[in-house]
Amino acid sequence: MRDEMEKALKGHDADYIEMRIEESQATRISYRGKELEDIGRTAATGGNVRALVKGGWGFVSFNSLDNLREKVELAISEARIVGAETSQLAPVEPVVDIVPPDFKMDPATVPLADKKNILDQYNDIIWSTPQVQTSNIGYGDNRKKVMFASSIGSYIEQSRCDVTLRLTVVARADSDVQQYGFSIGSNGDYSVVENSHDKVKEAAQKAVQMVTAPNVKGGEYTVVLDPILAGVFCHEAFGHLSESDFVYENPQMKEIMQMGRRFGSPILNIADGAAIPGLRGSFKYDDEGVRSTRSDLIREGVLVGRLHSRETAGKMGEKATGNARAIDYRFPPIVRMTNTIIEPGDTSFEDMIADIQEGVYAKNWYGGMTSMEMFTFSAGEAYMIRNGKIAEQLRPVVLSGNVFTTLANIDAIGNDLGMNQGGGCGKGGQSPLPVSNGSPHIRINKCLVGGR
């Protein structure tokens, strides 16, 4: 394949061309209630060409790998329609690297019967819990080999293997339906889905408890987030704002995102990077062939870095950070997060809640979303905090904030750290992209909680 790719890229008149070819195999199993709903296997082969001419991009994606040269020519002709400026890409060194797969426990080596057996065990646990109405279990693995060649002379082969398990238990009283769930995942380690029996039991019990829990009254509260939800908070509240494609051509955003701007108190440190090993957002090269890094985004409360593709870095006169990612061959790479972390501080959980008269302890996650300035993130589980103690359980809550005030309202950062490996990120029609988020417990003052 390498020869054909390199041959197709030779001898064109364009500022930059790259080609990505992928082969993938995926397995999925899902249960709805007691019944197995879906089990299937899918295979895909496809590729794309992206060309840059005078600052304009052309992009062609396809399944058939015939006539690659024609596809390159089509991408260049598209780019010519657009190009009217100067192409600016941050310089990177050409790389030739065949990265061997490094999977702790490759799901391809696990028989389908074993995978189904684990899910059957989880389903038995759920159904042995009284008052459960139903449940959803979704398992998936996707093993993918990606070949990348570019006109600067790079050729890279990499593999990744995304493993995910999502489980939701539904409890019901009359027409009132409540649910509790969790999701876990890994890059190339099937064993993470094998040992969740205790977690499944806990999920079933919590779903049942939730039916009798009250709703929170909407308003401002001091909120303590557990590491899982704090990771989602970090991703939504600040992570997306650090993606430079929102910034690089927007003069007002550039002003807002000036290096040195204070976003939080000196206890706040945030970083992102695919070079942090062993996580779901980890890789060696991004989808533009740029070596992964670890970028400090906020140091002691102050903006010190951002995430780049080659183009956003080139136009802002900064270095490429290896954050250009595409979910698959059908899409061009765009600036994305990888593994995003709030670094641990020194406050114990007990101290964090000790002086809260009335607050909310929010745990686990349903989801999150941002518009850059304002964002929401939702907890899967919540409790009132009263007089320094965890009190009654609540129905799940949706929390909301504004990046310019909420980050500054973080006044305590825990001495623990938890990673959420079960998330997927969506942007620009590309979803779900494997990412991880991590954080210690954090405390936020005056956080807006929706209620009814």
Partner 1 sequence: MTIEQILERAKKVAQEAEVFYSDYHDTPVGFEANRLKNVQSREGIGVALRIIKNGRIGFAATTRLDQAEELVAAAVEIAQFGAEAKFTMPSSPGNPRPVEVYDSSVEAIPIQRMVTLGQAMIDILLQHTPEIQCECSINKRIGSLRLINSAGLDVSYRRSSFSVSIEGTFIRDTDMLFVGDRAASCRLDFDVETIARNTVEQLEMAREIVPAAVGDVPVLFTPRAVLSSLLSPLIIALNGRNVLQRSSPLATRHGEQVAAKEFTLWDDPSRPYVPGSRQWDDEGVPTQKRTLIGNGVLNGFLYDLQTAGLAGTISTGNASRSPASLPGPSMSVAIIDHGSRSKDDLIKSIGDGIVVDELIGAGQGNVLGGDFGGNLLLGYRIQNGKITGRVKNTMVAGNVYQVLKDAQLSKETEWVGGFLSAPYILCPRVSTSSNE
Question: Of 118-147, which residues contact partner 1 (CB under 8 A)?
Answer: 133-134
Nearer to partner 1, 61 or 186 (CB): 61
- Kindly give the pairing relationship between strand 16-32 and strand 35-53: antiparallel
CB 224 within 8 A of CB 411: no
Residue 378 is encoded by which pair of tokens? 């939702």
Alpha-carbon gap, residue 250 to 309, rounded angstroms: 16
Q: Which stretch binds partner 1 (CB under 8 A): 27-35, 222-230, 319-327, 349-357?
A: 27-35
Residue 277 beta carbon to partner 1: minimum distance, rounded to whole angstroms: 31
Single out the residue of 304, 374, 390, 408 in contact with partner 1 (rule: CB under 8 A): 374
Single out the residue of 72, 398, 407, 419 in contact with partner 1 (rule: CB under 8 A): 398
Examine residue 424 and tell whether it contacts partner 1 (CB under 8 A).
Answer: no
Residue 344, CA distances (Å) to 270, 278, 309, 415 in order: 10, 19, 28, 5
Single out the residue of 15, 73, 78, 381 in contact with partner 1 (rule: CB under 8 A): 78
- Which of 148, 89, 154, 150 minimizes the C-alpha distance to 310? 89
Examine residue 61 and tell whether it contacts partner 1 (CB under 8 A).
Answer: yes
What DSSP character marks residue 214?
A: P
Residue 302 is encoded by which pair of tokens? 């102050």
Please state the φ and ψ torsions of residue 417, each to the nearest 5 degrees.
-155, 130
Single out the residue of 252, 317, 350, 357 in contact with partner 1 (rule: CB under 8 A): 252
Q: Which stretch binds partner 1 (CB under 8 A): 56-64, 147-155, 192-200, 264-272?
A: 56-64
Single out the residue of 126, 137, 163, 170 in contact with partner 1 (rule: CB under 8 A): 170
Examine residue 57 and tell whether it contacts partner 1 (CB under 8 A).
Answer: yes
Nearer to partner 1, 40 or 317 (CB): 40
- What letters, b where the CB count within 10 A reaches 16 and e where it falls short, cover 87-103? bbbbebeebeeeeeeeb
Site for partner 1 in 205-224 (CB under 8 A): 218-220
Query: Residue 451 burial by CB count (10 A; 0-12/13-18/19+): exposed, middle or buried?
Result: middle
Residue 96 beta carbon to partner 1: minimum distance, rounded to whole angstroms: 28
Single out the residue of 198, 357, 392, 452 in contact with partner 1 (rule: CB under 8 A): 452
Q: Which stretch binds partner 1 (CB under 8 A): 99-107, 156-164, 249-257, 416-424?
A: 249-257
Angle between helices 112-127 and 197-210 (to 10 degrees): 40
**329 CB-side CA count, 13 A:** 23
Residue 369 beta carbon to partner 1: minimum distance, rounded to whole angstroms: 4
Site map for partner 1, 321-350, x if CB under 8 A? Answer: ---------x-x------------------
Nearer to partner 1, 56 or 418 (CB): 56
Single out the residue of 4, 6, 12, 36 in contact with partner 1 (rule: CB under 8 A): 36
Cα end-to-end span (Å), the chain? 59
Number of residues that bind partner 1 (CB under 8 A): 80
Site for partner 1 in 260-319 (CB under 8 A): none
Residue 417 beta carbon to partner 1: minimum distance, rounded to whole angstroms: 25
Residue 331 beta carbon to partner 1: minimum distance, rounded to whole angstroms: 8
Single out the residue of 402, 415, 417, 418 in contact with partner 1 (rule: CB under 8 A): 402
Nearer to partner 1, 99 or 177 (CB): 177
How many angstroms from the chain centroid is the CA of residue 105?
Answer: 22
Alpha-carbon gap, residue 283 to 276, rounded angstroms: 9
Q: Contacts for 308-313 with beta carbons within 8 Å, 24 or more apart? A: 308/90, 308/244, 308/335, 309/244, 309/245, 309/333, 309/334, 309/335, 310/89, 310/90, 310/92, 311/88, 311/89, 311/90, 311/248, 312/244, 312/245, 312/247, 312/248, 313/90, 313/244
Examine residue 395 and tell whether it contacts partner 1 (CB under 8 A).
Answer: yes
Single out the residue of 95, 366, 393, 445 in contact with partner 1 (rule: CB under 8 A): 366
Alpha-carbon gap, residue 49 to 58, rounded angstroms: 8
Alpha-carbon gap, residue 433 to 325, rounded angstroms: 9
Q: Which stretch binds partner 1 (CB under 8 A): 1-9, 29-37, 94-102, 291-299?
A: 29-37
Nearer to partner 1, 1 or 99 (CB): 1
